[in-house]
């Protein structure tokens, strides 16, 4: 009973520390806007196809013939903090300057979480600048819109404006980091379960799979393993606590990881 009580006490203590750590950082007030643009725009009209013998032409609303390549891209901006951003916090209107765009032909909103509440509005401030306004910007809410434009396939956005106590962050997708993170998480969980089963086996003298593996590796006599365990139980419990911490930390980071809007 004392063994089980000691084990439970250590695990509960570790979990308590981790919960306190999580609550401390998750309750910290942050105001942040993140933005993301496609790495490369889609070419929807190629100027190289325009010749005098073509039987069709692409015209703008003012009936002017388009003689440049037309591209399409999407841009997202959303609230990645844990606090709402009301319009009263906007000290200078939020504008997105797109380097590489000669002229914006069309804007269209593709996605908002609650359009009747947030009421995001887009305006063409100039040929390469888009203004963004809203009524309410709650955490994880934002707007994703597409643009048809004349210019280059690679464009660079720049956020201009000033919002009270709010930072701007460019979101970038790193697939290699995601893959490595998933692999490491899987390995950590497997090692944790293996160590946990060993500890349970040695505590209660049960022969579970990890112990059977040790039988295969070292033969039938595991007396030295049990003796070593009795001498350093606390070390095993610390090891279990460390793996518990790593798993919960990974879970915390995943829950708070910024994803594309």
- What CATH code is carried by the domain that includes residue 66? 2.60.40
One domain for residues 47 and 22: no
Percent of the chain with pLDDT over 90: 41
Residue bearing the bigger pLDDT, 15 or 38:
38
Residue bearing the bigger pLDDT, 174 or 208:
174
Confidence of residue 172 (pLDDT cuts 50, 70, 90): confident
Mean pLDDT along residues 119-124: 96
Confidence of residue 139 (pLDDT cuts 50, 70, 90): very high
Sheet strands (E) in 31-89: 32-37, 42-45, 70-79
Residue 118 domain flag? yes
Residues 6 or more apart from 101 whose CB is under 8 A from it? 127, 128, 147, 149, 150, 151, 152, 155
Q: For the chain, what is the domain count?
A: 2
Residue 76 domain flag? yes
One domain for residues 138 and 208: no
- Lowest mean pLDDT: which of 198-202, 230-234, 251-255? 230-234
Residue 245 domain flag? yes
Q: For strands 32-37 and 167-170, give the pairing.
A: parallel
Mean pLDDT along residues 230-259: 61
Residue bearing the bigger pLDDT, 66 or 247:
66
Q: Pick from 132, 165, 198: which residue ends a domain? A: 165
Give the helix/strand (H/E) hosting 99. Answer: strand 90-112
Report the distance separating Cα 250 and Cα 172, nearest Å: 20
Q: Which two tokens stand for residue 34?
A: 């993140």
One domain for residues 131 and 60: yes
Confidence of residue 89 (pLDDT cuts 50, 70, 90): very high
Residue bearing the bigger pLDDT, 220 or 160:
160
Phi, psi (degrees; rounded to nearest 5) at 166: -120, 135
Count of residues making up the chain: 261
């Amino acid at each position: 009973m004392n063994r089980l009580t000691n084990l439970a006490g250590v695990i509960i203590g570790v979990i308590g520390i981790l919960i306190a750590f999580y609550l401390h950082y998750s309750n910290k007030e942050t105001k942040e806007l993140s933005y993301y643009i496609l790495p490369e725009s889609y070419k929807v009209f190629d100027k190289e196809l325009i010749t005098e013998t073509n039987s069709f032409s692409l015209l703008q609303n003012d009936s002017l013939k388009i003689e440049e390549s037309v591209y399409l891209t999407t841009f997202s901006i959303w609230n990645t903090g844990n606090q709402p951003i009301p319009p009263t916090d906007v000290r200078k209107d939020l504008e997105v300057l797109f380097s590489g765009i000669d002229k914006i032909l069309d804007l269209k909103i593709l996605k908002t979480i609650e359009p009747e509440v947030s009421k995001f509005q887009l305006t063409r401030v100039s040929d390469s600048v888009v203004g963004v306004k809203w009524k309410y910007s709650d955490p994880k809410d934002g707007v994703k819109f597409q643009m048809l434009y004349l210019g280059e396939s690679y464009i660079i956005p720049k956020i201009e404006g000033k919002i009270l106590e709010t930072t701007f962050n460019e979101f970038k997708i790193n697939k290699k980091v995601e893959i490595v993170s998933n692999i490491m998480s899987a390995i950590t969980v497997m090692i944790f379960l293996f160590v946990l089963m060993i500890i349970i086996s040695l505590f209660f003298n049960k022969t579970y799979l990890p112990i059977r593996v040790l039988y295969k590796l070292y033969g039938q006599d595991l007396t030295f393993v049990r003796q070593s365990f009795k001498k350093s139980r606390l070390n095993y419990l610390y090891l279990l606590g460390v793996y518990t911490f790593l798993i919960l930390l990974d879970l915390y980071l995943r829950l708070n990881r910024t994803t594309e809007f």
